[in-house]
């Protein structure tokens, strides 16, 4: 079978290689991959790939070998999955605790855009706590996580201010429920009960100053790739008793959250924002465009996906 592997070359970060079909463990299914979605974090790993790196964490396709322990769906079932690695290939193994069955109304292209970004958004909102009636400031809102967060938080009754680089992307976030769009944190009309911060650098300090007393900042990324620093005396001059929480989405099982995302999309309550869909032969180009933030939301690569 064919698989995409890292090259270490920034101008052509992945290439096709021939590989043996993976053999699932007793608690894994073998999926014929129809679509997968790279995420921006993976693009950074490709810059200096570790030996043996097999990228690919967001996949959708058809079960062609059921789990030997009987824990998963039967052969012929359409599923979305979140494996630890190895999804950029014609076949991938996925633990049964990290898959969800797809209803007929959901395409594999839509489903492939759900796992990492969607799970991150769900778990971020749980970390933030009840947001109904609260003012939420979201940075880095143009990516896949940002679109899901905006729609989920707005649907839960939050007043969302989204920080995004362009007017075009801001218009889409308004459609998904954002109350206000700004292009610089300084322009955000605070104070806010909750800040969801993903840029790092100076943005973390700037958003921290926008909190209400006893407010919470959840730090879930450093997309600027610039380290953030916080001056203790700035904190004294800012919101009293502010809470800064570090967040990382990872932690199996992922199946229950995937099932929630699938249900919301199938019911028309969540809308995957797919900025580009193309054949997986274009993966190298897509990886570069994701890294350089030239794609809104998610990108999905197809391997003969029919629906």
State the DSSP string of the chain: -EEEEE-S-TTS-EEEEE-PPPPPPTTEEEEEEEEE---HHHHHHTTSPPTT------EEEEEEE--TTS-SPPTT-EEEE--SS--SBSEEEEEGGGEEEPPTTS-HHHHHTSHHHHHHHHHHHHHH---TT-EEEESSTTBHHHHHHHHHHHHTT-EEEEE-S-HHHHHHHHHTT-SEEESSGGG----EEEEEE---THHHHHHHTTEEEEEEEEE---TT-------HHHHHHSSTT-EEEE-----S--HHHHHHHHHHHHTTS----EEEEEEGGGHHHHHHHHHTT-SSBEEEEESS---
Residue range 118-246 forms a domain whose CATH class is alpha beta
Mean pLDDT score, 114-124:
97
Tens digit of each residue's pLDDT (9 = 90 or more) over 187-240: 999 999 999 999 989 898 899 999 999 999 999 988 888 888 888 887 777 788
pLDDT tens per residue, range 170-186: 899 999 999 999 999 99
- Return the domain boundaries, the chain: 2-114+272-302, 118-246
Q: What is the pTM of this model?
A: 0.95
- We find that the CATH architecture of domain 2-114+272-302 is Alpha-Beta Complex (3.90)
Q: What is the pLDDT, as a whole number, of residue 179?
A: 97
pLDDT given at position 305: 55
pLDDT at 158 exceeding the cut of 50 = yes
């Amino acid at each position: 079978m064919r698989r995409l592997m890292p090259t270490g070359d920034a101008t052509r970060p992945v290439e096709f290689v021939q590989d043996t079909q993976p053999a699932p463990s007793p608690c894994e299914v073998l999926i014929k991959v129809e679509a997968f979605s790279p995420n921006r974090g993976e693009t950074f790993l490709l810059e200096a790939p570790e030996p043996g790196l097999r990228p690919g964490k967001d996949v959708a396709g058809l079960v062609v070998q059921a789990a030997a322990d009987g824990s998963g769906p039967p052969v012929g079932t359409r599923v979305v999955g979140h494996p630890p690695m190895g999804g950029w290939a014609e076949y991938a193994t996925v633990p049964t605790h990290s898959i969800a069955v797809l209803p007929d109304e959901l395409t594999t292209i839509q489903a492939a855009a759900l796992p990492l970004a969607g799970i991150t958004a769900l778990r971020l909102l749980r970390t933030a706590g009840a947001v109904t009636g609260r003012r939420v400031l979201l940075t880095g809102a143009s990516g896949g996580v940002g679109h899901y967060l905006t729609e989920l938080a707005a649907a839960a009754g939050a007043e969302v201010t989204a920080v995004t680089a362009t007017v075009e992307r801001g218009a889409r976030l308004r459609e998904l429920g954002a109350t206000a769009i700004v292009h610089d944190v300084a322009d955000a009309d605070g104070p806010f009960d909750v800040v969801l911060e993903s840029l790092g650098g100076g943005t973390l300090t700037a958003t921290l100053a926008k909190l209400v007393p006893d407010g919470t900042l959840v730090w879930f990324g450093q997309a600027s790739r610039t380290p953030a620093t916080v001056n203790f005396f700035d904190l004294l001059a800012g919101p009293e008793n502010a809470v800064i929480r570090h967040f990382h989405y990872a932690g199996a099982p992922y199946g229950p959250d995937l099932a929630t995302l699938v249900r919301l999309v199938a019911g028309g309550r969540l809308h995957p924002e797919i900025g580009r869909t193309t054949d997986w032969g274009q993966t190298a180009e897509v990886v570069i465009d994701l890294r350089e933030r030239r794609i809104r939301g998610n990108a999905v690569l197809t391997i003969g996906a029919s629906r």
